[in-house]
Amino acid sequence: MDSVTMKLSRGLLPLLLAIAGFAHATPKRDLVVWGVSVGQDQKGQDAVIREFARRHADINVRILSMGAGHMDPQKLLTSIVGNVAPDVINQDRFSISDWASRGTFRALDDLIARDKDTDPLCPTPEQYYKAPWSEAVYDGKVYGIPTGADNRLLYWNKDIFKEKSKELLAAGLDPKRPPKTWSEVLAYSKALTEYNRDGTLKRAGFMPNFGNSWLYIYAFQMNAQFMKDSKTCTLDTKEAVAALNFMIKGYDLIGGFEKAKSFESGFLSKENDAFIVGKVAMKIDGDWILADLARYAPSLNFGAAPPPVPDDRYNHVGVFKNEKETYVTWVGGFALAIPKGARNVEDGWKYIKFATSLEGRLIEAKAQKAWEQRRGRTYMFRQQGSKVANETLLRDFLPGEKKYQDALRMHVSMAPFGRIRPASLAGQKLWDEHVKALEKACAHSASPDEALMAGQKAVQLDLDAFYNQKNYPTVDLSIPLKIGVAALVAVLVGLVIWFGRLKLGNLAKGEAKWAYLFISPWLIGFLALTLGPMVASFFFSFTQYDVINPARWVGLRNYQDLGGADNASVMKALGNATYLACIGVPLSLTTGLAIALMLNMAQKGMRFYRTFFYMPAIVPGIASAVLWTWVLTPDPNKGLINSFWTQTITPWLSVPPPSWLQSAGWSKPALIIMGAWGAGSGMVLWLAGLKGVPGSLYEAAGIDGASPSKQFWSITFPQLSPIIFFNTVMGFIGAMQEFDRMYVMKPSGDGPVGVDDSLLTPVYHLFRNGFAYFKMGYASALAWMIFAIILILTFTQFKLAPRWVHYEADK
Amino acid sequence: MTSNALFAIGTLLSWVGWFFVLRTVILGASLLGNGPDLDKPRVMKDLGPAAATAAILLVLASLMSMKGGTAVGPGQWRFPLVWFVMPYTAWLGTFCFAMGAARLVQAWLALNGEEQVARFKSAGSWGVAVVIFVGLYIGDKTSSVTILKGGIVLTVSTALAIILLAVAALVAMALAGRAAATRGFARSLISQIALIVGSIVFGLPFAFLLITSFKEDRDMSSANGIVWIPKVQDTLPFFDKKDPVFEGTYQGQTVQGSIIEQHPDGTVRVDIFKPLAIRGTTFDAPKSQLKEVPKDAPIVTAVLNKVPIKGLVVENLDDGSQRVSILEPANLKGTDATFSPGDIQPVRHPGLRWQNYSEALSYLPPETNSGLVYLKNTLIIVIFSVIGTILSSSIVAYAFSRMNFPGKNALFAVLLSTMMLPAAVTLLPQFLIFRQFGWIDTLYPLWVPAFFGSAFNIFLLRQFFMGIPMELEDAAKIDGCSYFKAFKDIMLPQIKPALAVIAIWTFMAAWNNFMGPLIYINSPENMPLSYALQMYNSDRGAEPGLLMAFAAMTMVPVLALFFFAQKYFIEGVTLSGLGGR
């Protein structure tokens, strides 16, 4: 059929082209692929998809990139539980087991076993390095096929080493080679670090967590295991403490974590990367920086070496006496997987086989290389999970310059020594907690042991919740539904009987029937969409329920977690909401009031100004969030506010511009400034209020000789107090439920909402628990906590109101 | 400490000086304004001293010797500035201290004993607050006060420019004020100044949005501050013989691309690069179907062998350099030369880059039909939400206000109490309910609930119905009108303004709804604008020109509605904000 169509289309092309839109004689099968980015600089992936589509004319490949290749876990879970799952997903490999544990991925073992011998494209474990392959294996089953495998190396700036050779030689160090051990890297760092006159960093030798190292790489070098087995988290071990101590030393050496962080925040990624601009002499990073180095700093003279290891490991003494691998590195990357509930598993598997095969990998490299060359850039191939692919790329796609060749060779040669993050159902949580612990310990706000212990406990809690769930009885969710329906029927029957017995005249009865009919839309909505869900939500708050697996009755545990295990996040969210409300609400109100007072005084242009000041308030929320993300961009060459800041405040007071949304301290002030911009709706309100103040009051006050400020405080303010009151209440309630702005404006795609969760609000926390972790039960408990707080707030504010709110009717 | 004190004194002097400058300006303006009850001699008497004080203070301030801070170049001087960076405890403590001190002074000046006692009491409570905050400040080891020292650097020319600007503003305002010379001229003047300044501050983000949406990529960042005047590259149509561009038809749409392969049967393979959404797609077509179209070649200037030349960039070479076909001077015309990108300057003129808008749309997935599908989805949600809300809320409100039925008060109390309920509580179960219906990745969950009325709207409309005199309806009922007819024909027309307000609220809420689509929608065909914009933001966040163009396009319909229905918007705010009043 297809070939016939092809022939026909050749012959009748003029005609067929005209009606090309209708020319699909055979309906194509849809293949929905998520998380694959086909953006401007992603010609490689694009080429793989196009080639696949060309070979399978009966498949219609649909790409949903979901934001620059980054896959939003919330979207995937909603699609799976909503039975609209994609067929293939490109997913960060370390999170696959986390997800597989919840039954969100389809195991691929049967497909591999079936095609192993018949299909040359079929992936087998032998083709892959051990680490990347096993990263997507959970509980003995394969859930994803690795694509890239980015390992980390120590990149060192040869020019800086040369420049500081005197200092290095004085310290007994060789300026021609990179450090090999921990003590060496610290010594090099000390010799290479330079300070400004005011004590701030001018150039850092080595910042332990700058680039992409985290605690993981150092812990791997100590042979630390973050998970003892799938059920026990061992974040806090003496190996991990030793690794963390090394990081702390590294930071203390250059003046402390805070100083290093503020130095770091002065740079951005890409062309402004601190290593690229020569402000950091050494960093541990993945192979992705090669493309940036080639593109933005072609003249930079750098070297790539295995990451420095503990001295004992290097010398093979002590606990490392029998250690075979001197150098180890950390490897990450993505994998292609098939979600549970995928409708087109066969074609999905076809796609995975093709994309991960040597052929697919080479098509990607070739297309990407052609693209880069067209743009005048040097192509740097990316490290692969597949051994064969990596070696072929090294042979056929090596760039011309020696420094890049050396770096790529070093990456490939380190590939067999890659270690991976433990495959665990709490993988994401472990990651988040380890970041927290590392930051706390490096800033000396907790000892390494304490910080790691706190993280370990938090992870263990999630593990226990999963492995102990069998201790909790399952509950049939239809039981409460049945009870509810039964209760409803009973109540309705009762009401009908009660209605029949009422002594009403015919007329009144008729009226009542009509009235019930009229209010029925609300009544049905209330029962089905408010009361029912409320009851259900209350019921859920006593269960552990992830929509995919049966619910378990956990009693009060969710509520205990609010005050216990998850208390830090809950308090953070409430604290942020309070901050935003306590400073943001009064500021917006006063801004609005100031404009309104001005408008009231001005005799001309009232309508024009009113329109103008009100306009920001009606700009759609997402559009204004997008706009303000740019207005608040820290780079003074791009961001509106910082552009002004560097031209005024910096020269006046020598204060560098803040990094707004990118920093924990400034992100909330940033949102507050943005909120003040939208103060127009408040202004309209104040104007209406001001118009309502009787002029006779001012006249009387004027005769008594009251000053304008006196008039404001004793007439205007009391008269406006109901508006102030109402808006304060609403402002607080609103701050608790803020979500849209934070979602759009948070700097990183996933993980914390703003740096250190500085933009987390209670409703955001609920959303995250409900739709990202699918902890429906816990999220319901959160919802009830929010409800309770709102009730208490409103109630107390109404209680306090009579003390200062002036109502006309009281007189 | 002495240098700190010096800075503080200098700052104070300059601020007071500025205050007197402002006063001089206002007095001068009111003199020019020539209002009816102008006390000319008095103003004249005030004007002189004010101007003199301002001058003396500003000169003094600028002459204060300054130690620390950044150095000043020759021919410059600066007004000292001091700012205290303090934790909130210190700020609140300072504030309480100032309040307490003020109360003490008031107590000292009090007319009678009773007032004195009251003032002392108040001062005492502020004092307690001071102690608490000082305690908190000392208790927190991390808290510290940093004094920032610096100054506004002025040169003779900038100072002169500021003075000229002030005089010009003065004259302009005086001329404007002359027409409006009435009572309270000075107040009106101040508020006009403040409002104009405010408008500029409030308008800047809008201006930034619009201008960015018309800028070329190279103007997105600049070391000299934001580029406010967009410029566009001059181009000339150019038929490239080496790599010609062809226009053809692919799946019903006009595309541009280059030929990458010749087939023996006379057809050729075309690699599409426009529209951008299907860039990279190839298709086969007979050569006769294709039409060669010119490229837009950018005009540049450069220096070739010390001769300034002007030419067209005709090719980007692999090593990053560019081949330029020379246009001027005439003797070199037609010859080619190769330059590295750093050696050529583009020829540009101030103008708007409208292509940002079309390019922004052409990057959207093809199945969204250049974003029209997003608009369609948003409109579906908006229209059905508005219709649903109006119909259901008004009829329910009518029943609650005008009809009697057993249980009315109880039900109304329930309705009122649901107003307090945060959406968060019902969010998860509603998701599960809609999932049962198979409504995930459809638009239904986003508008169907509107047909069940909303508590706040019902409450509001009920208030309006209550305000309508009973007689109207009674007369109709006597004429044998049914309840529904009475509602539809008599009552509903009476509350049209309120309905308009509710319609606008619903419109805005539905248009802006973000969390709903975020939870329920997965595929591009079902996305509304708000969600699409967020996706676009995370996809093309690095291209502000396109992003701002797309954002501007999502705003236009709302802003248009605002300009046509401003009255209802403003009324709506008043209604909602005065809620309980």
pLDDT per position as a tens digit, A701-740: 877 777 666 777 788 888 777 777 777 777 888 888 899 9
pLDDT at B319: 58
Rounded-to-integer distance, Cα B430 and Cα B438, Å: 12
CA of A263 vs chain B CAs: smallest distance (Å):
19
Phi/psi at B294 (nearest 5 deg)? -75, 155
- 3-state SS assignment for residue B138: helix
Instruction: Tell whether the model's pLDDT for residue B577 goes beyond 60.
Output: no
Identify the closest residue of chain B to A579 by CA–CA distance: B88
Q: Which secondary-structure segment (H or E) carries A418?
A: strand A418-419
pLDDT at B579: 44
pLDDT at A8: 42
Rounded-to-integer distance, Cα A627 and Cα A604, Å: 31
Q: How confident is the model at residue A107 (pLDDT cuts 50, 70, 90)?
A: very high
Nearest to A637 among B223, B289, B563 (CB): B223
Pick the more confident residue, A284 or B236.
A284
Residue A110, C-beta contacts closer than 8 angstroms, at least 6 positions apart: none
The answer to whether the Cβ–Cβ distance between A64 and B396 falls below 8 Å is: no
CA of B191 vs chain A CAs: smallest distance (Å):
5
Instruction: Tell whether the model's pLDDT for residue A648 goes beyond 50.
Output: yes
Instruction: Tell whether the model's pLDDT for residue B187 goes beyond 80.
Output: no
Instruction: Tell whether the model's pLDDT for residue A13 goes beyond 70.
Output: no
The rounded percent of chain A whose pLDDT value lies above 90 is 32
Instruction: Tell whether the model's pLDDT for residue A71 goes beyond 60.
Output: no
The answer to whether A258 contacts chain B (CB < 8 Å) is no
Instruction: Tell whether the model's pLDDT for residue B391 goes beyond 60.
Output: yes
pLDDT at A770: 86
Lowest mean pLDDT among A119-128, A442-451, A646-655, B180-189: B180-189
CA of B403 vs chain A CAs: smallest distance (Å):
6
Nearest to B425 among A610, A637, A783 (CB): A783
> How many CB atoms are closer than 10 A to CB A427?
25
Residues of chain B in contact with residue A780, where contact means CB-CB under 8 angstroms, are: 428
The answer to whether the Cβ–Cβ distance between B317 and A376 falls below 8 Å is: yes
Terminal CA-CA length for chain B: 55
Q: How confident is the model at residue A174 (pLDDT cuts 50, 70, 90)?
A: very high
Instruction: Tell whether the model's pLDDT for residue A182 goes beyond 90.
Output: yes
Residues of chain B in contact with residue A444, where contact means CB-CB under 8 angstroms, are: none
Residue A166, C-beta contacts closer than 8 angstroms, at least 6 positions apart: none
CA of B532 vs chain A CAs: smallest distance (Å):
10
Model pLDDT for residues B44-63, shown as the tens digit of each residue: 777 788 888 888 887 777 77
pLDDT at A68: 37
Q: How confident is the model at residue B280 (pLDDT cuts 50, 70, 90)?
A: low
Compute the average pLDDT of residues A245-257.
91
The answer to whether the Cβ–Cβ distance between B429 and A536 falls below 8 Å is: yes
pLDDT at B97: 92
Residue B388, C-beta contacts closer than 8 angstroms, at least 6 positions apart: B447, B448, B450, B451, B452
Lowest mean pLDDT among A479-483, B131-135, B490-494: A479-483
A 47-66: CB under 8 A from B = 47, 50, 62-66
Rounded-to-integer distance, Cα A409 and Cα A397, Å: 11
Packing angle between helix A387-396 and helix A358-374, nearest 10 degrees? 40
pLDDT at B32: 63
The answer to whether A525 contacts chain B (CB < 8 Å) is yes
pLDDT at A19: 42
Instruction: Tell whether the model's pLDDT for residue B103 goes beyond 50.
Output: yes
Compute the average pLDDT of residues B539-557.
86
Model pLDDT for residues B435-489, shown as the tens digit of each residue: 888 898 899 999 999 999 888 889 888 888 888 887 777 777 777 778 888 888 8
Instruction: Tell whether the model's pLDDT for residue A266 goes beyond 90.
Output: no
Model pLDDT for residues A659-692, shown as the tens digit of each residue: 788 777 888 999 999 999 988 877 888 887 787 7
Supply the mean pLDDT for chain B.
Answer: 81
pLDDT at A1: 40
Nearest to B182 among A603, A635, A646 (CB): A603
Residues of chain B in contact with residue A739, where contact means CB-CB under 8 angstroms, are: 514-515
CA of B32 vs chain A CAs: smallest distance (Å):
18
A 287-316: CB under 8 A from B = none
pLDDT at B37: 55
Amino acid at A244: L
Instruction: Tell whether the model's pLDDT for residue B421 goes beyond 60.
Output: yes
Q: How confident is the model at residue A627 (pLDDT cuts 50, 70, 90)?
A: very high
The answer to whether the Cβ–Cβ distance between A794 and B484 falls below 8 Å is: no
Lowest mean pLDDT among A1-10, A624-633, B347-356: A1-10
The rounded percent of chain B whose pLDDT value lies above 70 is 87
Residues of chain B in contact with residue A63, where contact means CB-CB under 8 angstroms, are: 365
Supply the mean pLDDT for chain A.
Answer: 84
The answer to whether the Cβ–Cβ distance between A619 and B321 falls below 8 Å is: no
Compute the average pLDDT of residues A531-538.
89
Helices (H), A619-716: 621-631, 640-647, 649-653, 667-677, 680-692, 695-703, 708-711
Residues of chain B in contact with residue A783, where contact means CB-CB under 8 angstroms, are: 422, 424-425, 427-428
pLDDT at A17: 40
The answer to whether the Cβ–Cβ distance between A629 and B317 falls below 8 Å is: no
Compute the average pLDDT of residues B303-315.
85
Pick the more confident residue, A242 or A549.
A242
Lowest mean pLDDT among A66-80, A365-379, A499-513, B372-386: A66-80
Compute the average pLDDT of residues A604-624.
86
Lowest mean pLDDT among A190-194, B426-430, B567-571: B567-571
> How many CB atoms are closer than 10 A to CB B39?
11
The rounded percent of chain B whose pLDDT value lies above 90 is 15
Residues of chain B in contact with residue A601, where contact means CB-CB under 8 angstroms, are: 184, 187-188, 190-191
pLDDT at B390: 93
pLDDT at B68: 47
pLDDT at A2: 46
Q: What is the 3-state secondary structure (H, E, C) of A362-382?
A: HHHHHHHHHHHHHCCCCCCCC
Phi/psi at B247 (nearest 5 deg)? -110, 135
The answer to whether the Cβ–Cβ distance between A786 and B425 falls below 8 Å is: yes
pLDDT at B336: 85
Residues of chain A in contact with residue B544, where contact means CB-CB under 8 angstroms, are: 630, 638
Instruction: Tell whether the model's pLDDT for residue B177 goes beyond 60.
Output: no
Rounded-to-integer distance, Cα B497 and Cα B510, Å: 20
Phi/psi at A111 (nearest 5 deg)? -70, -40
**Strands A141-142 and A280-286, how do they pair?**
unpaired
pLDDT at B364: 80
Compute the average pLDDT of residues A338-365.
92
| Joined tokens for residue B446 | 């986003």
Rounded-to-integer distance, Cα A152 and Cα A209, Å: 12
pLDDT at A9: 43
Torsion of CA A80, A84, A87, A88, to 10 degrees: -50
pLDDT at B536: 85
Nearest to A684 among B435, B551, B570 (CB): B570
pLDDT at A809: 46
Instruction: Tell whether the model's pLDDT for residue B413 goes beyond 70.
Output: yes
Q: Count contacts between A and B (CB, < 8 Å).
A: 384
Nearest to A526 among B418, B487, B579 (CB): B418
The answer to whether the Cβ–Cβ distance between B429 and A50 falls below 8 Å is: no
Whether the complex's predicted ipTM is more than 0.90 is answered with no
The rounded percent of chain A whose pLDDT value lies above 70 is 91
Looking up tokens 């109390």 gives B413
pLDDT at A622: 92
Lowest mean pLDDT among A193-207, B46-60, B112-126, B163-177: B163-177
CA distances from B2 to A204, B5, B9, B67 (A): 35, 5, 10, 9
Nearest to B429 among A74, A522, A537 (CB): A537
Phi/psi at A161 (nearest 5 deg)? -60, -40
Whether residue A255 contacts residue A195, with contact meaning beta carbons closer than 8 Å, is answered with: yes
Q: How confident is the model at residue A787 (pLDDT cuts 50, 70, 90)?
A: very high
Instruction: Tell whether the model's pLDDT for residue A281 goes beyond 90.
Output: yes
> How many CB atoms are closer than 10 A to CB B280?
17
- Top-confidence range, A197-201, A637-641, B553-557: B553-557
The answer to whether the Cβ–Cβ distance between B205 and A616 falls below 8 Å is: yes
